[in-house]
Amino acid sequence: MSVLVRVPATSANLGPGFDSLGLALDLHDEVEVELAGDDVEIEIDGHGAGEVDPGEGHLIISTMRATFDTLGVDQPKGIRLRCRNRIPHARGLGSSSAAIVAGVLAARAFADAPGFDDACALELAARIEGHPDNVAPCLYGGFTIAYTAQGTPQAVTLPVHEDVRPVVLIPDFRLSTEAARGLLPATVPHAEAAANAANAALLVHALTRRPDLLLTATHDHLHQKYRAPAMPRTADLVERLRSAGVPAVVSGAGPTILAFSIGSAQDLIAPEVGSDWHIQPLNVDPVGAFVQFPETR
């Protein structure tokens, strides 16, 4: 028995929406999972090949094990993974969240646990990842607002305005989320926190109804400037793009940049970027993670 899971890349924060706002993008990893044999076998095509743990320590495998435990299901001896990875690793595009969501949904499919719905999947994925801002759009698709109520991670999805066109600018260098988080201060000035709250609220309106407000709405006061020393090229390019009128932010913890191409903004991006960044226009993925069994393909 095997299952195919398709999971999208995501961009979190979107500027001022630190640890809460996220967007699913139409760049996908595909994982075919089979319960067979006596060992863990992993084949990887694309990003992570020859780099990630080839055994029980692989994030999809460990997530599947954790999900089986949560569901009270006996652990299978052998698991075979065939991964087609198109999401770059350690670039701020949610590769770890994609792996976690894939693992949770694959295990759920094998366990045939109808009571373990998407809300349960989000809670477990967020617990494994540590925060819900990437796993929420990966699971649900579209533009998501992740929050915690009574200690439980939850999320809502909102439609994105048809004129919003994401563009990711991917550099050739990496930055771990842990390293980026380590640069954040324990406290920030009250005035900056208030300004950030206003922009985050405005960003919800801008993405869903008023794209013309995106340049103002994406201005961050909470995390990007503190992380800039770890990725000076990213910080410099974000500043230059914004000075040119392009709504640009650090994608997740970086170092990738997410820009929004509104009207003529697309024409302004390439001259600022140069040749050492990969410019990739993408659409918003409205579906999120998708599971198929072989007989339905």
Annotated ligand binding at 97? The verdict is: yes
Annotated ligand binding at 91? The verdict is: yes
Annotated ligand binding at 20? The verdict is: no
Annotated ligand binding at 90? The verdict is: yes
Report d(CA 55, CA 178) in Å as an integer: 23
> How many Cβ atoms sit within 10 Å of the Cβ of residue 74?
9
Annotated ligand binding at 88? The verdict is: yes
Identify the DSSP state of 229: G
Q: How many CA atoms lie within 13 A of 26 on its CB side?
A: 11
Annotated ligand binding at 95? The verdict is: yes
| Contact assessment for residue 12 and residue 155, using Cβ atoms and an 8 Å cutoff | no
| Contact assessment for residue 29 and residue 13, using Cβ atoms and an 8 Å cutoff | no
> What are the two backbone dihedrals, phi and then psi, of residue 123, each rounded to the nearest 5 degrees?
-60, -45
Query: What tokens does 94 get?
Result: 């949610």
The type of residue at 121 is A
Q: Which 3 state secondary structure label does DSSP give 113?
A: coil
Annotated ligand binding at 207? The verdict is: no
Annotated ligand binding at 102? The verdict is: no
Count helices and strands (H / E) in the chain. Answer: 10, 11
Radius of gyration for the chain, computed over Cα atoms and rounded to the nearest angstrom: 19
Contacts of 131 (CB under 8 A, 6+ apart): 19, 146
Residue 18, CA distances (Å) to 64, 165, 179 in order:
28, 21, 16
- Do the bridges between strand 79-85 and strand 17-35 make them parallel or antiparallel, or are there none, so unpaired? antiparallel
Annotated ligand binding at 98? The verdict is: yes
Report d(CA 129, CA 47) in Å as an integer: 20
Report d(CA 131, CA 204) in Å as an integer: 20
Binding positions: 88-98
Binding positions for ATP: 88-98
